[in-house]
Amino acid sequence: MESLETEENQGILQKLQTLVVLDESLKQQDVQFRDQCKLELGKLQKLVKDAQESATPDNDTDNVSIQFEEEQDRVQKLRLLLAKRTRSIATLQRQLDEVPGRAELAQYQRRFLELYNQVAAKHKETKQFYTLYNTLDDKKLYLSKELTLLNSILDNYTEAMSSTSGKEQFMKQFDAIVEGIKQNKVKVEHRHSEEHQRRDKLSHELLGLVEQQRRYVAAVRQLTIECRRNEAMLARLRGT
């Protein structure tokens, strides 16, 4: 190197040395730059990783928000269903309140029996009036026929007795009248027999109805006793 350091080559050598130093400096800067790039890349990768890891809670938050909204919708639906059920229960409660209790039913039964007895008594009284009216009307009819017959006999008796043929004709008419009276009597007796049989039949039915009513009253009394026992047992069970 020293042999080369002549005056002519000294400028070239200095330039070469400068270039070598510059090359070494550039190489060192390149290495440093690469190391810096690697360091920055690591930092960036770490930031990306941290960002990704920090994004997970956000996703969880989003999921929680979605679940919260779903639960809110579910709660709202349940509230609507509860309101609907509450209205249904209120409607049923009103219907139950409208149903009379045992005491009210007993009172209604007594009132209905009183009303039934009043109606039955009024019906019996009205029927008796109708029967009396029909009887008096029939009696009036028979008396009218009897009066007409007596007037006819009285009017025709003198003339009919004036001759033999008239007398015979009068007796035939009189016999026909008597026969008609007998037939009417048979009809009346037959009607009387039918009414008597009808009365006996109704009396038998009345006895059956009275017996049925007696059993009904006994059943109601027994049912009332059992209901009271049931209520007492329920009260004891609720107390325990």
3-state secondary structure 152-180: HHHHHHHHHCCCHHHHHHHHHHHHHHHHH
In sequence order, which residues have a C-beta less than 8 Å from that of residue 156 and are 6 or more positions away? 170
CB 4 within 8 A of CB 13: yes
Per-residue pLDDT of the chain (240 residues; tens, 9 = 90+): 444 444 545 555 566 666 666 666 666 776 676 777 677 777 767 766 766 666 555 555 566 667 667 777 877 887 788 788 778 777 777 776 776 667 777 788 889 889 999 999 999 999 999 989 998 998 898 899 889 888 888 888 787 788 888 888 888 888 888 898 899 889 989 988 998 999 999 999 999 999 998 999 899 889 888 888 888 887 787 765
- pTM, entire model: 0.42
**Residue 99 has what DSSP assignment?**
S
